[in-house]
Structure 1
Amino acid sequence: MARILPGQTDIYALTDSRLALGRSVEEQARALLDAGVKILQYREKHAHAGVMLEECRTLRRLTAQAGACFIIDDHVDIAMLVDADGVHVGQDDLPVPEVRRLLGPDKIIGLSTHSPEQAKAAVAAGADYIGVGPIFATQTKEDVCAPVGLSYLEWVVANIRLPFVAIGGIKEHNIAEVTRRGATCCALVSELVGAPDIADKVRAVRAAMREGN
């Protein structure tokens, strides 16, 4: 098990089989972990519960072998069943204090935020880290809110001491702009799992991140 938070590593990768050029969740995970990614979130919005459970069991094993942190999107029950390192929830999901009651004090809880008010509320609720975004427009998540832009990211950098991950429409071509504003950890979905060569793309993204520092 690995308790690794945004800020302790640079890339926060998410699975998405719809964008992965036919790769299975396991194939996505192996490629990302082999490329040195240390936080992996399972996010498969259209899978059946039984399939999700089996895929998460596989990813739990792979992330444990790689010394990487395994986060599950939304599904607290599956996170408990596979002993994931934590969960990531949104503003319309179970409240952080209730998730904490289920998972206990040692698991990681991340919360998506889109405004200063939500960021401050996340701190008060006991989240371990927050998602900051969407920075740019994104098509990888349904029912997503409008982009909050770089101004909210800058506000978080100046005002919130909680670890955070920047998310939403972040690509190799714009990630330097994000790191230049103070983000040290960025979440990427289609840019990584949709790349012909995931390892090459991870290397390119890391190089682009360094350009903004």
Structure 2
Amino acid sequence: MKYDLYVVTDETLSCGRSHAEIARLAVAGGADMVQLRDKVRSCSDLVRIGREIRAITRAAGAGFIVNDRLDVALSCCADGVHLGQGDMSCGVARQIAPPGFVIGVSVGSVAVARDAERDGADYVAVSPVFSTGSKYDAGPGHGLSLIREIRASVSIPVIAIGGIGLENAGEVIDAGADGIAVISAVIASPDITRAARQMADIIAERKAIGNNRRTPVP
């Protein structure tokens, strides 16, 4: 599973565009993963929307994650679920989920990241890296140092989210993030596809530079 550019949907920030339209435009711009995030819709609505997004991401070769709701994720054949600290625990979700099902966990400390890995998480999301208005409950930013500390403490992918845009995406990758999750930086743009492509290009460029630095000189 590739997590380089991980786009989170939110209809309140998308200038009237639906979750499915956000997904379609984001994968056209190179998003590797789409997360359906909606705190207010009913279960039946989320399943219906999730199935639309599943068809879009499958056709594009992208991954599909549902925020919070394991029941919805399983019902719409998503690749996985993303769990916050107030949601079902990763350990319980792992017992319920089928083999190969992806479970991501939001973390805000090294200890919590280690616990998530021990409980079977496939990736952790450091949230928020910088202060953000896209998630009202996110709290203050943890900064780049926590990315470095968590990257050195776990063996699973580390995703960064919160206050990340074109101006600071490169330094987030340089700090050790395996991927960047974005909300407003992409979906609030008048041109979601272009915004996604710009972000994907920055991530790819900075990863290439990092790989070159690690390659021994003959």
Q: Same fold (TM over 0.5)?
A: yes
* Corresponding residue number in structure 2 for 1:189: 183
What are the equivalent positions in structure 2 for 1:1-80 lying under 5 Å apart?
Answer: 4-6=1-3, 10-80=4-74
* Corresponding residue number in structure 1 for 2:111: 117
**Offset of 1:156 from its aligned partner?**
1.6
Equivalent residue of 1:165, what SS?
strand
* Corresponding residue number in structure 2 for 1:162: 156
Distance 1:123 1:183 in 2: 16
Matched, 1:89 2:102: no
Provide the alpha-carbon RMSD of the alignment. Answer: 1.4
Aligned length in residues: 207
| Residue of 167, 177, 180 corresponding to 1:173 | 167
Distance 1:171 1:97 in 2: 32
TM-score (norm 1): 0.92
Q: Deviations over 1:45-78 (max 9, x none)?
A: 2222222121111111111111111100011111
Distance 1:46 1:169 in 2: 23
Partner amino acid, structure 2, of 1:11: L
| Residue of 194, 197, 202 corresponding to 1:203 | 197
Partner amino acid, structure 1, of 2:78: A
| Residue of 78, 92, 96 corresponding to 1:98 | 92
Deviates more, 1:72-81 or 1:137-146: 137-146
Distance 2:66 2:108 in 1: 20
Q: Is the 8 A contact 1:176 1:211 kept in 2?
A: yes
Distance 2:80 2:41 in 1: 19
**Offset of 1:157 from its aligned partner?**
2.1
Distance 2:144 2:66 in 1: 26
Partner amino acid, structure 1, of 2:136: E
**Offset of 1:124 from its aligned partner?**
1.0
Distance 1:54 1:116 in 2: 36
Equivalent residue of 1:120, what SS?
helix
Equivalent residue of 1:148, what SS?
coil
**Offset of 1:36 from its aligned partner?**
2.0
Q: Is the 8 A contact 1:111 1:130 kept in 2?
A: yes
Equivalent residue of 1:112, what SS?
strand
Q: Is the 8 A contact 1:113 1:133 kept in 2?
A: yes
**Offset of 1:191 from its aligned partner?**
0.7
Equivalent residue of 1:186, what SS?
strand
Distance 1:207 1:110 in 2: 24
**Structure 1 unaligned blocks of 5 or more:** none
Distance 1:211 1:125 in 2: 31
